[in-house]
Amino acid sequence: MTDWVVWPIFTLQLVILVLIFVKEKFRIFGLAPRIWVLILLLVAAIAIVISLSHDSTTILHLHF
Amino acid sequence: MKSDFAKWFKELEVIDSVIGVVGVLIILGAALFMQFFYKEQPCPLCLLQRAAFVSVGLSLVLNVRYGNRVTHWAMAILSACAGIAVSIRQILLHIASPTGFGSAVFGLHMYTWCFIGFALIIVGSTVMLLIYPEKR
């Protein structure tokens, strides 16, 4: 079992961390960075929940 | 006097989020300590619980960056709910096992500690929602 199998969620969280410190006035597709952070955090939470079916003794296959 | 109290209360708003972030960092640090010093390799569900803790931490960092908002605390609660679902799943997987999965810390397994941690986050965030009114 290696750590890299959950890289999509951790990468998403890295992007969120960067977005948190983007200037407030900056807009991405017309939305403020704070709104993007909230949307991406929601996506991360959903990704965690849909990966619930895994056993703790098998290799993780994220359902994206 | 009133303005002093208001100022103190405003500082407190940030301080409790900072305390939350430090708590999450301690939990993640303890998990990494167990992984690298005690050679406890994390299972997929353990990694998902770590991801949920990171999400909770990021929600609290949002509070530090933008000030207390209902949406930030709500996101912390949602992330903790995702994490608590994973920890309950793992507790139920090993509930019939006499030894459990991995080594115990202070008599409880890591996934049980995660369950307690997420439950505390949900309770704490809900209390914060009660204390701090939404800014208009």
**Domain map (residue ranges) of chain B:** 2-131
Q: Check if B94 contacts A (Cβ < 8 Å).
A: yes
State the distance between the two ends of chain A, measured CA to CA, in whole angstroms.
20
- Report the alpha-carbon distance of residue B47 to residue B19 in Å, rounded: 23
Give residue-wise pLDDT tens across range B39-72.
777 788 888 899 999 999 999 999 888 888 889 9
In the predicted structure, residue A3 carries a pLDDT above the cut 50: no
Shortest CA distance to B14 belongs to which of B48, B65, B53, B50? B65
pLDDT at A1: 38
Say what percent of chain B tops pLDDT 90: 40
More confident call, B42 vs A10 = A10
In the predicted structure, residue B92 carries a pLDDT above the cut 50: yes
- Tally of domains within chain A: 1
Q: Which residue has the tokens 């017309």?
A: A30
Q: Are A56 and B109 in contact (CB under 8 A)?
A: no
Q: What is the reported pTM?
A: 0.86
Q: Which residues of B touch A38 (CB under 8 A)?
A: 62, 71-72, 75
Q: Are B49 and B85 in contact (CB under 8 A)?
A: no
In terms of residue numbers, what domain contains A19?
3-50
| Residue B36 zone, left/alpha/beta (φ > 0; ψ -120 to 50; rest) | alpha
pLDDT at B136: 59
Residue A60 lies in a domain: no
What single-letter DSSP state applies at residue B106?
T
Q: Check if B59 contacts A (Cβ < 8 Å).
A: yes
pLDDT at A2: 43
Q: What is the mean predicted confidence (pLDDT) over B84-107?
A: 84
Q: Check if B51 contacts A (Cβ < 8 Å).
A: yes
Give residue-wise pLDDT tens across range B4-33.
767 766 667 778 888 999 999 999 998 888
- Report the alpha-carbon distance of residue A45 to residue B109 in Å, rounded: 23
ipTM above 0.85 for this complex: no
In Å, how far is B5's CA from the nearest CA of chain A?
A: 29
Instruction: Tell me which fold the domain B2-131 belongs to.
Output: Bromodomain-like (1.20.1550)
- Bridge partners of B78, per DSSP, are none
Write the single-letter amino acid at A13: Q
Residue A59 lies in a domain: no
Decide: residue B117, CB within 10 A, 0-12 exposed, 13-18 middle, 19+ buried: buried
Give residue-wise pLDDT tens across range B95-105.
887 777 777 77
